[in-house]
Structure 1
Amino acid sequence: MCGIWGIFGYEKDSVQHCDCTFYNIRHRGPDAWRIQFDNKIKNACIGFVRLSIVDSVYGMQPMILHAYPHLTLICNGELYNFKTLGEKRKFNYETKCDVEVITQLYGQTGSIEETVKHLDGVFSFALVDTVKRKLYLARDPYGVRPLYTLETDSGVLGFSSEGKGLIEFGRKYMNGGKWKLKQFPPRSFRTYDLLDDGKVKLAETKEYYSIGDTPAFPLYVNPEDLNGDVLANIRTLLTAAVKKRLMAERRIGCLLSGGLDSSLIASLLVKLAKEVNLPYKIQSFSIGMGSSPDLVAARQVAKHLGTEHHEVIFTEDDVADCLDSVIRTLETFDITTIRASIGMYILSRYISNKTDTTVIMSGEGADELLQGYIYFRNAPSDEKAHEESLRLLKDIYLYDGQRADRTTAGHSLELRVPFLDLQFTSYILNLPIEMKRPVNGVEKHLLRTAFQDTGLIPDNILWRHKEAFSDGVASKKKSLFEILQEIAAKRIKPDSKSVLQEKYPHLPPRTTESLYYR
């Protein structure tokens, strides 16, 4: 997990920007940071904050290679096929850092499109070519790694891993000019012309990947090794998705709610860690209020797997104390996202403060991919269910993806999500659409059946019914959303509610809770 940041086309002293904007993403990379002004490009300033995961010695950015001195790269990502590509294309790597493959690919092909198509992993990056006078921005297919842009009508461009890295720049330095802060679209790259006067001009935006397509990069699992046994193929591909994500020089652990998705990932992680002889025991982490069902289920799974298990118990006071910090960290006022983020935020804080685990695996993406939400039971047809699954995957970066990234990165952790592996998702999405529907009211029946009789997790966990994360962590006495509604009611007085609501004519908040978040 790292953070990238840059301002192009702004003429005044860039040091001011760093003080009020770049510093706001330091939590993404506490190990090191660097600001760089490029003398070859007028009015260009880029910054990088680093959480060291791979190649702690030579992996610092901005990265400029001896072989390609005209290229400057900053990237927040993990690219799992960098060794395979290096061998196939005979790259002479100058570091052991996986993201170097971006510069090597672009330097060899001269094409940003060919470069991004061959990346197996998660990423957001900026690449500057001072010879062609181009700036390229790109983001991974599911938007697992975040990227924002500040766009203006005056030739100024800003980009950052989080919106808080740009918002104060827009407010303080655009002097009333028009500017917009937007999320950069997943599956896309953009090309900007770097003009002689120091301004920036958008040249092209292109989507390089369609969800469900077979990836263009060399596949981790040879398709010839798969067969007509769908259940075996699912096990093979999900196992491979976890295995490739073991790439790290820091300790790896897992979030464990006791639900199907996190339990499967935890079980595969423990199994593979033994096979590759990781020099430590896998730590698992669960959270809940006193009598929450998640704590009970996670405890059973941890015992079954033999992990070094950590439980975090939180209270209503803890929710009240952290709520404002959660909203700032998330950068959204979406009610469901905020509710689901409380537990993950508190748990991430614990992991960061109390353990040496830095890389975290979790089960995000399974519900969107495998029709795991309860309402899929009521889909009018297989086709409509499949369409809804695609919609959720396309938008995951706005909701569960954003929640998972911000709550972990906010505490300097790196999250990895095997269910969103491109080869795995492509295989699942191209199965006959009727195979993914709930069966007899049981969601993700296909996934459950694939791992039946493997002994990886207890049967009652394998077939445990779906619960929303915010429900699973709450106590039996009071739900989390009731607690949050009570907090909001205390903080917004009834006589001021109507006045406050008038401030938000766009998507007007209808409830006290939604008004408080806004």
Structure 2
Amino acid sequence: MCGIWALFGSDECLSVQCTSAMKIAHRGPDAFRFENVNGFTNCCFGFHRLAIVDQLYGMQPLRIKKFPFLWLCYNGEIYNHHTLKKKFEFDYQTKVDGEILLHLYDRFGIQKMASLLDGVFAFILLDTANRKVFLGRDTYGVRPLFKLLTDDGFLAVCSEAKGLIDITHAMATPANIVPFLPGYFEAFDLKKNGKVQSIQMEQFHCCTQEPAHAIYDTMERLPTRFDEETVKSNIRSLFENAVRKRLMAHRRIGCLLSGGLDSSLVAATLVKLAKEEKLQYPIQTFSIGSEDSPDIIAARKVAAHIGSEHHEVNFTAEEGIQAVEEVIFHLETYDITTIRASVGMYLVSKYIREKTDSVVIFSGEGSDELTQGYIYFHKAPTPKAAAEDSVRLMKELYLFDVLRADRTTAAHGLELRVPFLDHRFTAYYLSLPEEMRIPKHGVEKHLLRESFKGLNLMPDEILWRRKEAFSDGMMSVKKSWYTCLQEHLESMVCVTMATVLPIIQWLINDQFSSNERSSSSSERH
């Protein structure tokens, strides 16, 4: 997890513009670099680094001797970089996973480069030899990317919108700051004056398709039958593979644990694989809630079962309310459900940063959308309708749950990893017959639960624990976080109205009196 920022064709002083890059410093607390592009004095890169892989040579923009004309700024992790390096016999200069982008681009071009990446990423790639700029973002938008493009070809790019809002540029009409679409790349011509022109916007991967990089996966090909036992075995194999590949890190790994099915599956599998890979430290798990909250109690049972080093963060409504303004700043959204669900994740991430040495944090985002985990799926009119809505939710993840998970962890310099959004795992699950994926016997995510039944990964009561909103599960059953927040907002409205109403009444009375005086004056004349 890092922060990337770039300008192409700026008319303003770059030393002034670059102050905007400092607004995303929280994304990379380990180091910062600001660099102009040779031959283009009005183009530059800014980079905030969180060192996860190759702590010595990981600064960006990344440039290597073999390709002096390529400049790369990227945020993310490429899990199959070793596999691709070996397959195509690339000669590496660093140990950085992102170096694979330079070799793939030089060998195959931008479209194939993007399609072969197994990971989460947002990138800005500059080719000065061919005067091209490329932007790209992973399938589900796990890593954020925003752009601002003016009518005259000035392009500004940043990991978060806050790094673009104060960018100055003379323009006839104001330019919008927009999120870059997940699963796409965009190509620009770079003119001699540093300005750009968009020439291609193309999708390189869709969640319903098996990714192109699957043919180079180290995991064996799966049986293609759709009988229940084969499907459950495939789900287990793909999920375990998704967790294993995400162990790639030089920093300590931890896991958020709410005590629900999704985070418990991630934590249990993570602890199991960490032992197999002989990691030199125990996996830390983290839960947040009030002392008697359902989540705290359930997470405690899971942690005891899997043997993690467990941390509990006490949550109070007062502390949550105080954090709301900071949360909104980092989220860059006023979506009320996202904000409410983000407060707990923001506070537990703050605890992790301040009290522990875990930096790479696993989480269970994406499962509800993929496996039809929301309660309303019980009311889907047909399996086909449920399947279609599942795909819709997957495509919109970058606007809601993925946004929440990235921003609340990045706010405290942590790196998020989400195995449920693994390309091969999601593509396989969405390819299953629609009837297999719907809730059954009154239980949502029935197929996922059945796939892990009898393995003793977690207590059975957790495996079959019903869906509970994160914002409700962290508080006492007597009073939810939703209710606490609602009461606080109502009190604020009451106080505001008590202050404002007399003023409004005074204005009305004064206007009425003024009208009376005007009428009286008119009558006298």
Compute the TM-score of the two structures, normalised by the length of structure 1: 0.93
Per the alignment, residue 453 of structure 1 pairs with 454
Q: Confirm whether residue 178 of structure 1 aligns to residue 174 of structure 2.
A: yes
- How far residue 132 of structure 1 moved from its aligned partner, in angstroms, is 0.8
Letter in 1 for 2:85: G
Aligned to 2:286, the other structure's residue is in SS state strand
Distance 2:144 2:498 in 1: 39
Per the alignment, residue 501 of structure 1 pairs with none
Letter in 2 for 1:279: Q
**Residues 146-165 of structure 1: CA deviation (Å, up to 9, x unaligned):** 00001211211111000111
Per the alignment, residue 470 of structure 2 pairs with 469
Q: Confirm whether residue 200 of structure 1 aligns to residue 196 of structure 2.
A: yes
User: Which of 185, 190, 214 is equivalent to 1:189?
Assistant: 185
Distance 1:388 1:12 in 2: 46
Q: Confirm whether residue 65 of structure 1 aligns to residue 71 of structure 2.
A: no
Per the alignment, residue 3 of structure 1 pairs with 3
- How far residue 356 of structure 1 moved from its aligned partner, in angstroms, is 0.1
- How far residue 198 of structure 1 moved from its aligned partner, in angstroms, is 2.2
Task: Describe how 1:100-139 pairs up with structure 2 within 5 A.
Answer: 100-109=99-108, 111-139=109-137
Distance 2:243 2:499 in 1: 51
Aligned to 1:73, the other structure's residue is in SS state strand
Distance 1:411 1:5 in 2: 19
Aligned to 1:49, the other structure's residue is in SS state strand
Q: Confirm whether residue 423 of structure 1 aligns to residue 414 of structure 2.
A: no
Q: Assess if the C-alpha contact under 8 Å between 1:120 and 1:422 holds in 2.
A: yes
Per the alignment, residue 52 of structure 2 pairs with 53
- How far residue 173 of structure 1 moved from its aligned partner, in angstroms, is 4.2
The verdict on how the C-alpha distance between 1:43 and 1:245 changes in structure 2, with shifts beyond 3 A counting, is same
Per the alignment, residue 325 of structure 2 pairs with 324
Per the alignment, residue 370 of structure 1 pairs with 371
Q: Assess if the C-alpha contact under 8 Å between 1:7 and 1:157 holds in 2.
A: yes
Per the alignment, residue 514 of structure 2 pairs with none
Letter in 2 for 1:421: D
Letter in 2 for 1:281: P
- How far residue 497 of structure 1 moved from its aligned partner, in angstroms, is 8.4
Per the alignment, residue 502 of structure 1 pairs with none
**Residues 303-324 of structure 1: CA deviation (Å, up to 9, x unaligned):** 0011100000111210121110
**Residues 436-463 of structure 1: CA deviation (Å, up to 9, x unaligned):** 0000110000000000000000000000
Structure number with larger C-alpha Rg: 2
Aligned to 1:59, the other structure's residue is in SS state coil
Distance 2:461 2:88 in 1: 48
Per the alignment, residue 494 of structure 1 pairs with 497
Task: Describe how 1:92-491 pairs up with structure 2 within 5 A.
Answer: 92-109=91-108, 111-169=109-167, 172-174=168-170, 177-217=173-213, 218-224=216-222, 229-491=230-492
Per the alignment, residue 511 of structure 2 pairs with none
Distance 1:449 1:190 in 2: 41
Q: Assess if the C-alpha contact under 8 Å between 2:327 and 2:343 holds in 1.
A: yes
Aligned to 2:483, the other structure's residue is in SS state helix
Letter in 2 for 1:145: R
Q: Percent identity?
A: 52
Aligned to 1:376, the other structure's residue is in SS state helix
Q: Assess if the C-alpha contact under 8 Å between 1:76 and 1:123 holds in 2.
A: yes
> RMSD in angstroms over aligned alpha carbons?
1.4
**Residues 311-339 of structure 1: CA deviation (Å, up to 9, x unaligned):** 00111210121110000011100011001
Distance 1:269 1:195 in 2: 48
Distance 2:499 2:106 in 1: 59
Aligned to 2:303, the other structure's residue is in SS state helix
- How far residue 225 of structure 1 moved from its aligned partner, in angstroms, is 6.4
Distance 1:129 1:487 in 2: 53
The verdict on how the C-alpha distance between 1:179 and 1:259 changes in structure 2, with shifts beyond 3 A counting, is same
- How far residue 491 of structure 1 moved from its aligned partner, in angstroms, is 3.7
- How far residue 219 of structure 1 moved from its aligned partner, in angstroms, is 2.6
Aligned to 1:43, the other structure's residue is in SS state strand
- How far residue 108 of structure 1 moved from its aligned partner, in angstroms, is 1.6
- How far residue 494 of structure 1 moved from its aligned partner, in angstroms, is 2.3
**Residues 117-140 of structure 1: CA deviation (Å, up to 9, x unaligned):** 000000000000001100000000
Q: Assess if the C-alpha contact under 8 Å between 2:24 and 2:48 holds in 1.
A: yes
Aligned to 1:461, the other structure's residue is in SS state helix
**Residues 65-94 of structure 1: CA deviation (Å, up to 9, x unaligned):** 111000000100100000000001000011
- How far residue 7 of structure 1 moved from its aligned partner, in angstroms, is 1.1
Distance 1:234 1:116 in 2: 26
Per the alignment, residue 74 of structure 1 pairs with 73
Letter in 1 for 2:3: G
Q: Assess if the C-alpha contact under 8 Å between 1:241 and 1:418 holds in 2.
A: yes
Q: Assess if the C-alpha contact under 8 Å between 2:152 and 2:171 holds in 1.
A: no
Distance 1:10 1:41 in 2: 10
Aligned to 1:132, the other structure's residue is in SS state coil
- How far residue 224 of structure 1 moved from its aligned partner, in angstroms, is 4.6
Distance 1:317 1:445 in 2: 37
- How far residue 197 of structure 1 moved from its aligned partner, in angstroms, is 2.2
Aligned to 1:213, the other structure's residue is in SS state coil
- Unpaired runs of at least 5, structure 2: 502-525
Aligned to 2:390, the other structure's residue is in SS state helix
Distance 2:488 2:21 in 1: 32
Q: Assess if the C-alpha contact under 8 Å between 2:289 and 2:313 holds in 1.
A: yes
Letter in 2 for 1:158: A
**Residues 10-35 of structure 1: CA deviation (Å, up to 9, x unaligned):** 1221110111x100100000000101
**Residues 384-426 of structure 1: CA deviation (Å, up to 9, x unaligned):** 0000000000000000000000000010000000000001011
The verdict on how the C-alpha distance between 1:225 and 1:275 changes in structure 2, with shifts beyond 3 A counting, is farther
Per the alignment, residue 512 of structure 1 pairs with none
- How far residue 486 of structure 1 moved from its aligned partner, in angstroms, is 2.5
Distance 1:494 1:31 in 2: 46
Distance 1:208 1:91 in 2: 23
Letter in 2 for 1:30: P
Distance 1:321 1:214 in 2: 44
The verdict on how the C-alpha distance between 1:448 and 1:48 changes in structure 2, with shifts beyond 3 A counting, is same
Q: Assess if the C-alpha contact under 8 Å between 2:138 and 2:184 holds in 1.
A: yes
Q: Assess if the C-alpha contact under 8 Å between 1:139 and 1:187 holds in 2.
A: yes
Compute the TM-score of the two structures, normalised by the length of structure 2: 0.92
Aligned to 1:93, the other structure's residue is in SS state coil
